Structure 1
Amino acid sequence: MVSCPRTSKRRSVSAFLSQVFGGRKDMDSFKKELEEELKLNTEDIRSHAWYHGELHREDAEGLLERDGDFLIRDSRTCSRDYVLT
């Protein structure tokens, strides 16, 4: 049996976010966005992590890393429509 050192989730999540977002300022900005998103009604499409709003197709495709990844974005050609990428 391998024993793992005890670390708090909070510290490891903070370390992960710092690594991903490159610094405290970016991490704070991400936290604020996430907090605002969590305040939204779940029936509001903006409250879902898979919704990305206005995003060019090329940028959307760049976010998809694995088979099965997807996102929903606003259509640029048909106002008030959505696109599944």
Structure 2
Amino acid sequence: MIFAAITVRVHRVLEQLGTACSMEEVVTLCPELTWNQVFLAIDYLSRSGQVQVTLDGDRAYRVQAYHDVAVATSPAAPVPL
């Protein structure tokens, strides 16, 4: 798999899950990926602001996707280009 496809796969899994989970859970949810591929994707997604990585009280890393907030526009409002 190419890196872009791997990052999209990991991000989608995290978005669908909707809650924080351990990195090991992400590996389990993406059985076609290696642990290293998941780690590199999470590193990239974290650095680009698409996921949040935290360290819990048990010293385990937890990962959660940020969700985009849709902006409601009225039909009369101009559409941004």
**Range of TM-score over shorter length:** under 0.3
User: TM-score normalised to the size of structure 2?
Assistant: 0.27
Query: Which structure is higher in RCO with an 8 Å CA cutoff and minimum separation 6?
Result: 2
User: TM-score normalised to the size of structure 1?
Assistant: 0.26
Which structure's CA Rg is the greater one? 1
